Structure 1
Amino acid sequence: MKSISKTTLEFLSKLRRNNNREWFNEHKTEFQHQQAKIKSFFSALGEKLNSHDEIEKLKVFRIYRDVRFSKDKTPYKTHFGGHFVRATKRLRGGYYLQISSGESFLAGGFWAPNKEDLLRIRKEFEIDATEIREIMNDTTFVSHFGVLEGVSLKTAPRGFNKEHPDLDLIKMKQFIITHKFTDAEVLSDDFLEKVNESFKAMRPFLNYMSEILTTDLNGVSTID
């Protein structure tokens, strides 16, 4: 399946209004039907991605929410989400697409880098942030994603100069790029191509970050 059905968004909209087990169980067959269509769409998208990147696996997330530590006890997500993991230790980062009535978007980058990776990224920016800024200021990047997003510290991380000219980048704890879609765009015949084009536009950013995270500060590979 190479397009998103209007009935998929309608189901998610109804689920948002009736987010309880009784309603869901009554409409379980409809959910399974919509889930199957979404999985087919994600598979088609995976084929597109593999034409210009190396994808190791696709994970379509479960509809059931983990409410153990959440104040929101509604049992179901009101979206379908899929994550494409890049292959091999050499290619870092991944691609994410979320389909939801009125709230669809794609994203990519580094949501929660571990301590070692975060320090390596910051050290690179401390030495020279020219290349990342060229990527961020590129017209294709800006047209698809706008700006680099993510949570930042309020001040310089320990061991870094508070007056560094690239402190805005060094303070970042996440490195995320996103693109939102209207329902009309999601339901359009060329939505698959639009998503794939945005994922293509991520490549310079993902490849640059991958190079940082697979080399030391001298540019020597750290992977076997």
Structure 2
Amino acid sequence: MARKVIFEFLEQLSKNNSKEWMDANRAYYEEAKNELINLFEPVLASLKEIDPRIVQPTARKAISRINNNLMFHPERPTYKDHFGVVFGHGKGLADFYVHLGTDETLMAGGIWHPDSARLKKIRTEIDYEGHKLMKTLNAEPFKSWFHFYTEGALKTAPKGYSQEHEFIELLRLKSIAAMRPITRKDILSVGFHDMVIESYSAILPMIDFLNVALLDDDGKY
């Protein structure tokens, strides 16, 4: 299957993570990226049938840069060991993410480490409307497929909230995001397209809940 080149390229990049290697293998990189585009272009078309609010116009635009940001993290290697594909409603809002890596493959949705202003808005929404979010989290197939990121969660209640709050476990979170582990075999299978669509459909109510919290009455962030 042609899309195997996506992982073959990433494995070689992980062993030869340097600008010199990338410059010498630019055609190899473009081949892998083109296969990624071919994989996700029909996926994006199907996702937009479900959710026309998705802002990415093409699969190419949905692919994250493979370069690491060395200005803020100089200790990181020059290039990532994965491809990331993001579909969402706009910058700063909750979105849907597919991670294709050498060691880890997954689908996820939500908002990762929002700044204090956005986190405050989300906690306010959970405080008032947490039962709506819990309905999504307890629904199938979300409950079977996804689990929440709890790393870095507060050990106590955030300021202004009681330890006895009905939704205290959600209020403690610093990232409101859930992930579904998948395998490389899943990505290489003919059923991957449908798997992405089904996963997006399952997590979309959570994404909508978060974006309602973040957007004002005019629909602006």
Greater alpha carbon shift after TM alignment, 22-31 vs 49-58: 22-31
**CA shift digits 1:138-180 (9 cap, x unpaired):** 1211122034646422221222223323211111221001112
Which aligned runs of 4 or more in structure 1 are off by greater than 6 angstroms?
Answer: none
1:9 and 1:131 mapped to 2: Cα distance? Answer: 39
Instruction: Mark the CA change 1:4 to 1:79 in structure 2 (over 3 Å): closer, same or farther.
Output: farther
Name the Cα RMSD after superposition. 2.5
2:77 and 2:133 mapped to 1: Cα distance? Answer: 40
* Conserved? CA contact 2:149–2:175, under 8 Å: no
Identity score, percent: 27
Partner of 1:69: 72
1:172 and 1:22 mapped to 2: Cα distance? Answer: 41
**CA shift digits 1:102-154 (9 cap, x unpaired):** 31111111113343332232223334532222211112111220346464222
1:95 and 1:201 mapped to 2: Cα distance? Answer: 11
Larger Rg over CA atoms: 1
Partner of 2:33: 35
Partner of 2:166: 165
Partner of 1:79: 82
Residue 214 of structure 1 deviates from its aligned partner by 4.0
**1:97 partner letter:** V
1:118 and 1:146 mapped to 2: Cα distance? Answer: 20
Partner of 2:13: 15
* Conserved? CA contact 1:94–1:109, under 8 Å: yes
1:147 and 1:45 mapped to 2: Cα distance? Answer: 24
Task: Name the SS for the 1:64 alignment partner.
Answer: coil
Instruction: Mark the CA change 1:20 to 1:140 in structure 2 (over 3 Å): closer, same or farther.
Output: same
TM-score, scaled to structure 2: 0.85
Residue from 47, 51, 54 that aligns with 1:53: 51
Task: Name the SS for the 2:181 alignment partner.
Answer: strand
Residue 53 of structure 1 deviates from its aligned partner by 0.4
Structure 1: unaligned runs, 5 residues or longer: 216-220
After TM superposition, list the pairs within 5 Å mapping 1:213-224 onto structure 2.
213-214=214-215, 221=217, 223=219
TM-score, scaled to structure 1: 0.84
* Conserved? CA contact 1:63–1:77, under 8 Å: yes
Structure 2: unaligned runs, 5 residues or longer: none
Task: Name the SS for the 2:108 alignment partner.
Answer: strand
After TM superposition, list the pairs within 5 Å mapping 1:1-224 onto structure 2.
5-54=3-52, 55-57=54-56, 58-70=61-73, 72-86=75-89, 92-147=93-148, 149=150, 151-214=152-215, 221=217, 223=219
2:80 and 2:213 mapped to 1: Cα distance? Answer: 35
Residue 71 of structure 1 deviates from its aligned partner by 5.2
1:17 and 1:44 mapped to 2: Cα distance? Answer: 31
